[in-house]
Amino acid sequence: MERGTGVRNVLIGPTAVPFALFALGLVAAAVSDLRGRRIPNLVVAPLLAGGLAYQAVLRGWAGAGHALLGAVLGIAILFVPFAARMIGGGDVKLLGAIGAWLGPSPMGWVTLWTAALCGVLVVLLLARHRELRAQVATNMTAALLTRAVPAIEARPRAQTVPIGAALAAAAIWVALGQEAFPHA
């Protein structure tokens, strides 16, 4: 396949409407996360159901199983940070919904791109919040000197990373850039 043909097929071909629904759901999740650092179930549940339905229509029971495996993998990837109270449940459910649409294979790439985008968001947050920079410097110094992770107090929402927004951007990037969006 010539380079770039897959992107054209996703945006113009028979997958254009399903991809638009996928992207619209991700944009809604990203906007919600950016505004209030929350991703409501009213956004994630239809996105998950849409992914399961799309895969089932596309490939029958095998597609439904593929979507379910992708969803479970997405949830599993973020379960430990969620259990450690490092991220919110909406982020976990969003990656599960992304997995339902894309299946398990591209989930590693979605996770890696999300991590890279979160790094950029951290730099932007540190540039914007002087007191956050000071707290991070203090915590890093304490961690280096004591070789232990210091207890970190809860931060105001404006000083937290909108992981859902990074997940949404990464999923769209991977679906288009790596031609990972399912098609017949």
C-beta of residue 160 within 8 angstroms of C-beta of residue 173: no
93-123 pLDDT, tens digit each: 999 999 999 999 999 999 999 999 999 999 9
- Please report whether residue 67 resides in a domain: yes
- Please report whether residue 107 resides in a domain: yes
pTM score of the predicted model = 0.87
**Distance from chain centroid for Cα 103:** 14
Range of the domain at 37: 5-177
150-174 pLDDT, tens digit each: 777 778 888 899 999 999 999 999 9
- Please report whether residue 56 resides in a domain: yes
* CA-based nearest residue to 171, from 182, 180, 162: 180
pLDDT at 157: 84
> What is the number of domains present in the chain?
1
Average pLDDT over residues 126-151: 87
Least confident segment among 32-46, 52-66, 100-114, 146-160: 146-160
- Please report whether residue 184 resides in a domain: no
- Please report whether residue 183 resides in a domain: no
- Please report whether residue 182 resides in a domain: no
- Please report whether residue 20 resides in a domain: yes
Reported as half-sphere exposure (CB side, CA atoms, 13 A), residue 128 has a value of: 10
- Please report whether residue 51 resides in a domain: yes
pLDDT at 5: 52
